[in-house]
Every structure is written in structure tokens, then in C-alpha cells.
Structure 1
Amino acid sequence: MSITNTKILLVEDNPDDEELTLRALRHHNIANDLVIARDGVEALDYLFTTGKYADKDPDEFPQVVLLDLKLPKIDGLEVLKKMRADERTKCLPVVVLTSSNEEKDIVDSYNFGANSYVRKPVDFVQFIAAAEQLGMYWLVLNQSPVDI
């Protein structure tokens, strides 16, 4: 597996949260290519080169996955479980980026292998600050294995 340092996979079904994330990343000059999956099935199709992503290079992975939990078709925890069960994606950094502040969601996310759990701020200024911190850490500071 090779991590492509130019891609972020955003798994988000809410168009407002998607736009907010895009604006926040642009605001901080995070120029990575952003792939958007709007449900759990689409996220898994992208990661495992199935469905509409069947022609994608199967050895190309994003640098980080920003994963919402409350998704249609397959929820975020199921996506996370499937990622961690597969050799190709078991070490891929996953940041759960969700509006849920339920203790069970936090515990389950970490139990299923999330690298980080970030509650989406409802305030735009707070969200911009959170996006900057996420971008700085996961795209600049975090060191991933060369061959996962």
C-alpha cells in the first residue's frame, strides 16, 4: 500500500458539513486533493476499488480519512471495522469527525481502531480552528509508515 500524500478522504453525508469542511481546509491553505464519499458504501468502494471506483489504482490510499459516524447505507463504525479488518487499510489514519458526543460512540470508535475522535464544533470559527489543527497534525506532523 502506498499513501498518496495529496489525498484526503472525507466521508460526510451532510452537504452543509461538507462545505464547511472544504471552506475550513481552504481557509488554512490545505491544498490536498479531497475525495468525498457521501455514505459508507461509497467510502468502502473508494478504499477497496469497487463500484464506481473499480478503475482506481488499488494501491493508492489517502493520507487520512475524515469519517463521520452517522452515515446512510453503512454507518461510520462499520466502515471503520471493515477498514481495520483488511490488511491494506488497517493502519490508515482515521479521524472520526462527527457531531456525536455520545460516550458509546467515542469508546466504540477507539475500540474499532480510530486514531482520533473530534466532535464537530457547531460554531464556524471553532470549526475553522479545528480544521487547522487537524490539517497541521495529520497532514504535516504525523509520520505514517512508508509501507503499511
Structure 2
Amino acid sequence: MESGSSEAVILLVEDNPGDIRLIEEAFSDGNIANTLNTVTDGQAALDFINRRGEYEDASRPDIILLDLKLPKVDGEDVLHEIKHHPELDHVPVIILTGMDEDLTKSRDLDHDADEDAVLEKPVDPGEFVEVIRSFGKFRLAVMRED
């Protein structure tokens, strides 16, 4: 986390408004102290992590939630850029996927993503909220110990 901040900075890269809402509700309902920044396409994600344009003053994320199927720039390209960015290569990336083939494919995306996680989006919204909430609490608890 950036020095002086007790909140984790989370970047959510997701183009589905329903999934965005579920993730926002999961973090809110879980009372997890965080700053959630949301972008809805791969180009905006690249602008955010490179602090370009409207994201010039953006905080560096502590965690990135990344959907693979994105408009403009593919999620795989975003992941590659994150893992080869000198200030972000250590940031955990949680790949959000809704399809079995995406899940299988994402396991082989990039050898530098070995320490990251892949979460399959459950069809049931309640399950999805629970998966995000439980992982968020664990990851953020770990982040706060530093």
C-alpha cells in the first residue's frame, strides 16, 4: 500500500455493469477498508496503470481485479503490461473469468503470473459476492499486516 494510507487501493477492470455492482456491494457489505477504482475497458486500464490522461494522479493499486474479456485492449495484454511494469510487477492480479475455457487459458497466460489468482465468476450472484468478499478479506488482511 502507498505509505501513509491504511486503505488498500484496488483497481477493478471490468466491463460488465452487473459484475461491477456485485463487486462494489461485496466490498461494501464486507466493511473492507479500501479505495475501489473502476475502469471498464483495457485501454482505460493501461491509462490508469501508466498514469496517463484522466488518471495522471491515480494511486498505484495494491490489488488488481482483471476481467479477461475487455473491449479496446484485451485483458491478456493488460496483464502482460502489469507484470512487466517496474512499479506494478509485484502487485497481485486476480483474474476474473466467467467461462471454463477462459479459466483454462488464463492458467497459461504468462509465466510471471504464477503468484496471482484466477476466480471463475459463479452464475449465482450470491456466490459471486461470497467469493469476492472472502478473497478480499483474506488479501486485504494480509496487506494490512505490513
**TM-score of the two chains, using structure 2 as the length reference:** 0.85
- Cα RMSD over matched residues? 2.2
4+ residue runs over 4 A deviation: none
Q: Quick one: distance in 2 between partners of 1:129 and 1:28? A: 9
After superposition, the C-alpha distances for 1:73-116 in whole angstroms (9 at most, x for unaligned) are 111110010111121111111100121321123322x5351610
- 1:68 matched residue in structure 2: 67
1:117 is aligned to 118
44-53 vs 98-107, which moves further: 98-107
CA shift, 1:117, in A, is: 0.4
Q: Which amino acid aligns with 1:117?
A: V
Confirm or deny: 8 A CA contact 1:95 1:116 kept in the other structure: yes
Instruction: For residue 61 of structure 1, report the CA deviation from its aligned partner.
Output: 1.1
Cα displacement string for residues 45-98 of structure 1 (whole angstroms, at most 9, x for unaligned residues): 1111112212x15xx311200000000011111001011112111111110012
- List gaps (5 residues or longer) in structure 2: none
Once the 2 structures are TM-superposed, how far is the Cα of residue 126 of structure 1 from its aligned partner? 0.9
- Does structure 1 conserve the Cα–Cα contact (< 8 Å) formed by 2:67 and 2:97? yes
Rounded Cα–Cα distance in structure 1 between residues aligned with 2:122 and 2:34: 22
2:98 corresponding residue in structure 1: 99
Residue 35 of structure 2 is matched in structure 1 by 33
Deviations 1:3-25 (A, max 9, x none): 76432100000111111111121
Identity %: 35
What letter is aligned with 1:120? K
In the alignment, the residues of structure 1 paired with residue 94 and residue 34 of structure 2 have an alpha-carbon distance, to the nearest angstrom, of 16
- Aligned counterparts of 1:52 and 1:96: Cα–Cα separation in 2: 24
Cα distance in 1, alignment partners of residues 47 and 8 from structure 2: 19
* Matched letter for residue 63 of structure 1: D
Instruction: Show structure 1 runs of 5+ residues with no match.
Output: none
Superposition TM-score, scaled by structure 1 size: 0.84
Taking the aligned partners of 2:8 and 2:119, their CA distance within structure 1 comes to 22
Q: Within 1, Cα distance between the matches of 2:105 and 2:65?
A: 19
